[in-house]
Amino acid sequence: MGSDERRARETIANATKVMKTPVSVASSLSDEKTAVLHIETGPLPSSSTAGSAGIFLAIADDRDESHVSRGENAGRTLMHVAVLRSLVRIAAVDKSAGFARDIKLDLSAKNARNLRVAVIVQEADAGRVWGAGFTRLSNQGP
């Protein structure tokens, strides 16, 4: 399908028409060591053939760099974005009800840099993604 541009465009267009599960993520800092994430999702759409889907919380550094000492990039500094540091299944959702919860995020073990937070609703075994939400939070100490 990747080499068939017309078919690829049709597949993408059809995927955007499918009903999704709404996901919202809001963050606030309660102090410089703790953030509170308010996470809400709707239920799985009635069109879903899955009985349930997992809700995953992903924490990533907004950016990072690595200093390469060997190989073809030896001596270079490489810049990276959205470096995943943690991926945790926090709950599940089905067709009958949505999900809402406040989750405390300990920032004391994190480096003082900006973080990305994503919440993903996904069927088991790397199945279909039904919804996703995203926010950023700053862990800049005094």
The CA radius of gyration of the chain, in Å to the nearest whole number, is 19
Residue of 82, 89, 100 lying closest to 22 (CA atoms): 100
pLDDT of residue 124: 85
Residue 97 confidence (pLDDT): 92
Instruction: Give pLDDT, residue 1.
Output: 54
Q: Residue 138 has which token pair?
A: 């700053």
Q: Name the stretches of the chain with pLDDT < 70.
A: 1-2, 15, 109-113, 138-142
pLDDT digit string (tens) for 67-93? Answer: 899 999 899 988 888 888 899 999 999
Specify the pTM.
0.77
Residues linked to residue 92 through DSSP beta bridges, in sequence order: 54
At residue 11, the 3 state secondary structure works out as helix
- How many other C-beta atoms are found inside a 10 Å radius of the C-beta of residue 14? 9
